[in-house]
Amino acid sequence: MKVAVLGFGTVGYGVYEMLKNAEGLTPGPVLVRPGKADEAFKVDSIEAIAADDSVDAVAEVMGGVEPAFSYACAVLKAGKHFVTSNKALVAAKGPELAALAKEKGVAFLFSAACGGGVPFLHNMSLAVQSDTIELVGGILNGTTNYMLDAMQRRGLTYADALADAQKLGYAEADPTADVTGLDALRKIMLACAVAFGRMPVEGLNNEGIDSFTAEDAEYLKKKGLTCRLIVSGVPVGENSLSAFVEPVLFEKTAPECSVLDNFNMARYHGKCSGDIVLMGQGAGRWPTASAVLRDLSDIISGRRYMMDPDVKCVCADNSAVLRKYCVRLPKEAKLSLPAEKEEVVGDNKYVYTAEVPVSAMHAEAEKIRKDGAKLFFAAIGQ
């Protein structure tokens, strides 16, 4: 099966090189920016790939929603299988692409879009064929895990941890999607679509690590707690689900505390299988490229989709999920949620809440920030 590649950056190069030695796969043309087609295998027009009858499948590793979506539609309409590592594309346009792929009788796979080299979506999409998935989640962003680990184990400041992550290639020049939790939020959208046949497109709650400070890290260390950014998705009734991203505090014996550097720890719970936990590198050239090749090999084996073409787009409901929180805010700031205790540390205080709905905690944080105060919050355990 000849495979064209859209994009020739870090991951695109990795995919192209792996195709040279992959069983049953051969590299085809590579789409590059206009004016960059300086070698015979490079082209700068999507039309050249869509019209090439020798190309059976296309792997998109460009990132972003446009022009990736337009390119995806072009190749699917041309009857070519489509594989992508682009979480933003699948989160925004996944149901449309799944429906188009079904109409044309071709494949649409995207396991590389969540977990990099960790076969999270791949395994879960197989599990749903014989089991009922009751929960999905875990640590699904390597950038933020690296930063949190560096701040807590090595005592780095937020700025130094970010600079370190960028130097190592774990964080983009613009790290906003990672540190605000948006990247992880897109991944939980995909995971829910695969696991439950429902994609949450509204009502999700999201808190990243951009409010976490060296002082928070030091305070939590003294308490014997470790902070990780965790995603969670659980079905709610027949038509909805809860889906959110937020920092979570764990006791030192929790498995999440052993997930260091830029590693991911993805998990799902099957009604029959119980807990399934997968660990590995969640980003980078070779881990992500290996996931793209895994999807392409699946196509050869006959797989055509991992998202149901009739997936439902739903509004998430996080009001029934109750959690206790640790909230850091200025001494003079007020927290309207019920509190069990508080500790004053310098100019700040740490308030420990009673159990409150996830949606209520996120709404409270938004209100306090609108009033001009800075705060950090994390759930206590899971």
Contact residues for 70 (Cβ-Cβ < 8 A; gap 6+): 46
SS3 115: coil
Token pair 């700068």 in the structure block, residue: 44
Q: d(Cα 247, Cα 237) in Å, to the nearest integer?
A: 26
8 A C-beta contact, residue 145 and residue 259? yes
- Core vs surface per residue 268-306: b (16+ CB within 10 A) or e: bbbeeeeebebbbbbbbbbbbbbbbbbbbebbbeebbbb
Q: Are strands 339-345 and 348-353 parallel, antiparallel or unpaired?
A: antiparallel
Largest CA distance in the chain: 69
> Which DSSP letter does residue 112 get?
G
Q: Tell me how long the chain is.
A: 382
Burial (CB count <10 Å: 0-12, 13-18, 19+), residue 262: buried
Tell how far CA 277 is from the center of its chain.
16
- Which active-site residues does the annotation give? 187
Q: Does an H or E element contain 281, and which?
A: strand 274-281
Six token digits for residue 313: 């787009």
